[in-house]
Amino acid sequence: MEEELKCPICKKFYTNPVLLNCGHSICLACAVGLQSPAIQSDFEQQDFDKLSLNSETDSGIICSSRPNSYIGTPNSASLLALQSTVVLQCPVCKRLIWLDASQGAAALTRNRALARIVEKQRKDDMQYCQICGEEATDICEQCEVFYCKTCKQACHPNSGPLSNHNFIAANEGSTVLKLKQDGNCKEHSQVLSTYCMDCKILVCSVCCQRHIDHESVPIGNASKAQKNRLSLRLQQLSEKAKTASEFCQRLKSAENEIETNAYQLQANLVEQFDRLMRSITTKRDKLVEQIAKEREVKLQQLRDRATDCKRQLQKTNGFIQFSIELLKESDSVAFLQTASPMMCRAAEAERFFLKKFDRETVATEFDIAVDLHPVTEVVENIKFTPLQPPKSPKIVRNRCSVQGNSVTVAWLAQADNFVLELDDGSGENFHKVYSGKDRVCTVDGLLYGTVYKARVAAFNSAGGSPYSPCVSFQTEQSSFNFNRQSVHVDDEDLFRI
């Protein structure tokens, strides 16, 4: 909340804060220091605000019923015609505020509510009794005099015409004296009693004549309505702040999960690479470094999100505390001067949470993995050069099959090449039907309804193995039936041949 009570220019607690019509506040002295004569480049900017040159009661709101006020966006020629115009740029939103050079920043509305909150929060200078010079304890609102406890009793006895005077604490007295006269219309010195709903400004009974066609309500009703709206908005904002707090906790938990998963991934990676030969150690170290970098990227993203979340949460909490203090404001005039800007700021903060925290957090899982299967196969297949021929292969019956006139044969053996042979159906005269490195082969084009025997031999650089034991396969019966009665004579003679 302390940041809400400091001027964005001098970075100190507000002193005589004035309210810009963009909704932000600055110290009066800072505003005077910021104002400068208007130049051509200022006129060419399209996004600026116009303050009435006639009265402070406009509070920077353009009203078509006010004479001599800017209406709409003035062109360069009309503005250059105003020889006594100064411009002030808001240090927060960079919007331009146009002022009459005769009054300048002094024409800006005093932010009374903000001044009271600042006075309440900071340590004030000690006030002294204006009668005896001792430390003052109270100030009389009617007499506007600081009293110590003794002089207060002497000058304001419990009976008599002065007994009905109101007293407030001395530490709030200086603010009351400065702001007491701000409750009246600067133009007509009348009490500000009405709030114009169309122009969003406070007006006195005389100013009401200029707003006769506008919707106006008593300031008490307007203040109550605005307080209700702001309270509802703050309640919604508090829920968002609660969600943000839980979001920060999830970010913290995610950080621990990332650490755990990263170290587990590194441990598994090291364990896998320890099985490999020394020649791939360099590759292992590079992959470990890559994971470490990925972890740092994720952690940095996580920290950035957490820092952003905490910073916004801190600002939001400060804004909420400030708004709560503002809701305690009993002066309707002072409250209404800041109610609309506060509503806008609350909505902006809520939009921030919707934008920032509806998004998914940083993924705790790593989208990388090490596939050692090809390398493992290479390692497992590393072997010495054989000094003797391989053993006889073994045909695996449960992996063999027959379909129509085709036979599939599968076998197991440790060798470089294999030869599959089938007989001619008589159990003799084997013929080679396959030669290669595969351990499964399908032979097509065999005779239907015939029994074949198969055998396999294995070969390496040292020689060949004995043939495997023969395995018999019978092809399926053909679905084609030959009928001699339907054969033509010429065809039958051909058949006999």
Evaluate if residue 87 carries a pLDDT over 60.
yes
CA nearest 422: which of 441, 438, 403, 404? 441
pLDDT at 15: 80
Mind spelling out the 3-state secondary structure of the chain? Answer: CHHHHECCCCCCECCCEEECCCCCEEEHHHHHHHCEECCHHHHCCCCEEECCCCCHHHCCCCCCCCCCCCCCCCCHHHHHCCCCEEEEECCCCCCEEEEECCCHHHHCEECHHHHHHHHHHCCCCCCECCCCCCECCEEECCCCEEECHHHHHHHCCCCCCCCCCCEEEHHHHHHHHHHHHHHECCCCCCECCEEECCCCEEECCCHHHHHCCCCEEEHHHHHHHHHHHHHHHHHHHHHHHHHHHHHHHHHHHHHHHHHHHHHHHHHHHHHHHCCCCHHHHHHHHHHHHHHHHHHHHHHHHHHHHHHHHHHHHHHHHHHHHHHHHHHCCCCHHHHHHHHHHHHHHHHHHHHHHHHHHCCCCCCCCCCCCCCCHHHHHHHHCCCCCCCCCCCCCEECHHHCEEECCEEEEEEECCCCEEEEEECCCCCCCCEEEEEECCCEEEECCCCCCCEEEEEEEEEECCEECCCCCCEEEECCCCCCCCCHHHCCHHHHHHHHC
Beta strand 48-50 with 96-100 is parallel
What digits encode the pLDDT tens for the residues 111-135?
888 888 887 776 555 677 777 777 7
pLDDT at 459: 92
165 by Cβ neighbours in 10 Å (0-12 / 13-18 / 19+) ranks as middle
End-to-end CA distance of the chain: 113
pLDDT at 73: 38
Q: Residue with structure tokens 């031999």? A: 457
Structural contact between residues 475 and 449, judged by C-beta atoms closer than 8 angstroms: yes
What digits encode the pLDDT tens for the residues 218-258?
888 888 888 898 899 999 989 888 988 988 888 888 888 88
Q: Residues 187-198: what's their mean pLDDT?
A: 80
Q: What is the C-alpha separation between 447 and 445, in angstroms, rounded? A: 7
Give the number of other Cβ atoms within 10 Å of residue 377's Cβ: 10
Q: Which token pair is 477?
A: 């019966």
Structural contact between residues 178 and 16, judged by C-beta atoms closer than 8 angstroms: yes
The domain locations on the chain are 1-110, 244-357, 394-474
For 394-474, CATH gives 2.60.40.10
What digits encode the pLDDT tens for the residues 295-344?
888 888 888 888 888 888 888 888 888 888 888 888 888 888 888 888 88
What digits encode the pLDDT tens for the residues 434-458?
999 999 999 998 888 889 999 999 9
Verdict on whether the full-model pTM lies above 0.75: no
